[in-house]
Amino acid sequence: MAANYLEQDFLPNYNMTLASPTLTLIAGTSGNTTLTLASLNGFSGTVSLSQTSSPSGISVSLSQTSLSLSVNGTATTTILVATGNAQPGSYAVNITATSGVLAHWMILTVNVADFNITFSQPELITPAGPVSGVVTLTSLGSFTGTITLSTIITPTTGAPTVHFSPTTLSLTAGGTAIAGLGVGGGKNGSYNITLTATSGTLTHSIIIPVTVCLSGCV
């Protein structure tokens, strides 16, 4: 977003630019971008910087909150962003620069990226033969990446066989991807499938209950 200038272009002034006006960060990670101030029309002086973010959730700081500009010179500060436990989504960081009566501002957009995983059925019951359902992965906060699926079934004794395909899925920003998961065989009893989806530092798991009832069940 362009800076908001309050003075005539021919008067001594300065402008603001961001190296990256949008930061997309994986949930739980940190990142940064550079803010540059440039003297215009012979401006020189000290510029104070401040920032606010909305909604709350991310942590934002400036490596320097006061910059000195010489005539026709430039100065930079680093904007540091930590996502911490912030919810996936878009955050607006309003950066304000002031020097005397001159005040400018810019917006840095921060996307906290993640994904979620769901299964189409609350439980799989196998009365006679294989049963299956659909695993859905959904991009949150502009998440883009490759996700690997894996499963563990417990208890292992007498457990049915778990099949799922594909084992690797690609998500684009705002998109979804699906995989099929099914079970078959095994002995009468109750089991739990732990389905885990992993992409880099992100890991999400869900539990899918399985009941095998091949014969003699009430």
Start-to-end C-alpha separation, the chain = 65
Task: Please give the pLDDT value at position 3.
Answer: 54
> Residue ranges of the domains in the chain?
13-113, 120-212
Query: What are the backbone dihedrals phi and psi of residue 120, each rounded to the nearest 5 degrees, phi first?
Result: -70, -20
Task: Please give the pLDDT value at position 127.
Answer: 79
d(CA 180, CA 165): 5
CA atoms within 13 A on the CB side of 103: 4
- The domain 13-113 belongs to what CATH superfamily? Immunoglobulins (2.60.40.10)
Task: Please give the pLDDT value at position 213.
Answer: 85
Task: Answer yes or no: same fold for 13-113 and 120-212.
Answer: yes
Q: Give the chain's residues under pLDDT 50.
A: 1-2, 6-7
What predicted TM-score, i.e. pTM, was given to this entire model?
Answer: 0.84
Look at residues 78, 72, 99 and name the one whose alpha carbon lies nearest to residue 35: 78
**Tokens 């200038």 -> residue:** 5
Task: Please give the pLDDT value at position 171.
Answer: 97
56 strand-pairing partners: none
DSSP code, position 29: -
d(CA 158, CA 28): 39
CA distances to 105, 165, 216 from 128, in Å: 66, 22, 11
Sequence-distant (≥ 6) Cβ neighbours of residue 160 within 8 angstroms:
126, 153, 183, 184, 185, 186, 191, 210, 212
Question: Of 2.60.40.2310, 3.40.50.460, 3.40.50.150, 3.40.1360.10, which CATH number belongs to 120-212?
Answer: 2.60.40.2310
**Tokens 């930590």 -> residue:** 82
d(CA 117, CA 124): 17
Could you report the per-residue pLDDT of 43-101, keeping only the tens digit for each?
999 999 999 999 999 999 999 999 999 999 999 999 999 999 999 999 999 999 999 99
